[in-house]
Chain A
Amino acid sequence: MQPGRLRLIAGVLSLAAMAVPAHAATITIVMENLVVSPAEATAKAGDTIEWVNKDVVAHTATAKNGDFDVMIPPKKTVTYVLKKAGTVDYYCRFHPNMKAMLKIDSEASP
């Protein structure tokens, strides 16, 4: 890839970052040795969840109510922007013994 193109991408990325409202946060949740931590996290609609999979096998973050189904490949990090408020139980479809919960509050007014 040419350096010019890299700079362009970096520029676009920083623009995108600026477009995110100041109050939106990123919450990191780690999956390691089939344990999700924190198992209970609190966020707001509009926040980004960053799932970090440290295992050699793929996991999913699958909402029981069908709100999201995110696949996180081995040794990868996947981000997802929360859309709806609510208390959501989620699990891994491949290893249903992995369970966690997200408490999503309504988006804060600016």
Chain B
Amino acid sequence: MFAQLGAAIAAVVLLSSPALAESKLTDPQIAHIAYTAGNIDIAAAKQALTKASNKDVKAFAEDMVRDHEAVNKQALDLVKKLNVTPEDNDTSKALSKQAADKLAELGKLKGAAFDKAYIANEVAYHKTVDSALETKLIPSASNAELKGLLQTGLKIFQGHEQHAEHVAAELK
């Protein structure tokens, strides 16, 4: 539990670090962060599909793969249309690093322990991403279509957060 909280706090701190607050994120960076955040959740869900034992947890993981792939496809189509090349940046790098650590940590767990840890992390991760979208990415986005996509993404991911909370409650 403390490890989960620690990870969530680390991510929040990361996404709201002074370095980021000072320099406004550009659209190519925002696109990269949003896409990376989606890919991280797809990777987590794919791990869950091979390891989860509870059927609701598996169904949730399937939903995550399907939704995040759909949103990321839409993001790719948009950057192509806008002729924007997503630009790697410190936030994307930090998110990826943290996600790799989490995958390794969850990879050691089995059965019900894995199910609980995966869903708890999904709640925490979606909270972090939703908060970053609300306070940082959406306000910083310049292009109206990119902003619109992020706003719809936020509602989808808030839905995931609630869905994950329901599944977590059922596991208890």
B155 neighbours in A (Cβ, 8 Å): 33-34, 95, 97
Cβ of B93 under 8 Å from chain A:
no
State which residues 107-166 of B face A: CB under 8 Å: 151-152, 155-156, 158-160, 162-163, 166
A96-B152 in contact (CB<8A): no
B66 interface neighbour in A34, A57, A92, Cβ under 8 Å: A57
* In the complex, chain B residues whose CB is within 8 Å of the CB of A94: 63, 67, 159, 163
With contacts A34-B152, A34-B155 taken as known, whether A96 is within 8 angstroms of B70 at the C-beta atoms is no
Residues of B within 8 A of A33 (CB): 151-152, 155
Write the nearest CB–CB distance from B70 to chain A, whole angstroms.
5
Q: What's the interface size class on B, roughly?
A: 10 to 19
Overall SS of chain A's interface:
loop
Interface string of B69-80 (1 = CB under 8 A from A): 011011000000
B156–A57 touching, CB < 8 Å: yes
Q: Which of A56, A74, A96 contacts B159 (CB 8 A)?
A: A96
A97 touches B162 (CB 8 A): yes
Q: Is the CB of B166 within 8 A of A96?
A: yes
A49: interface (CB < 8 Å): no
Distance A76 CA – B136 CA, assembled complex (angstroms): 33
B152 touches A55 (CB 8 A): yes
Question: Chain A 52-74, CB within 8 Å of chain B: the 1/0 string?
Answer: 00011110000000000000001
Measured between beta carbons, the chain A residues less than 8 angstroms from B163 are 93-96
What does the 1/0 interface line of A71-110 toward B look like (CB < 8 Å)?
0001000000000000000001111111000000000000
Alpha-carbon distance A57/B155, docked complex (angstroms)? 12
B residues adjacent to A (C-beta < 8 A): 63, 66-67, 70-71, 73-74, 151-152, 155-156, 158-160, 162-163, 166
What residues make up the interface of A, taking CB atoms closer than 8 Å to B?
33-34, 55-58, 74, 92-98
Q: Could you give 21 example pairs across A and B, Cβ below 8 Å? A: A33-B155, A34-B155, A34-B159, A56-B73, A57-B67, A57-B70, A58-B66, A58-B67, A74-B70, A92-B159, A93-B163, A94-B67, A95-B156, A95-B158, A95-B163, A96-B159, A96-B162, A96-B163, A97-B155, A97-B158, A97-B162
Top 10 nearest A-B pairs (CB, nearest first) are A95-B159, A34-B155, A96-B162, A56-B70, A97-B159, A57-B67, A33-B152, A57-B70, A94-B63, A56-B74
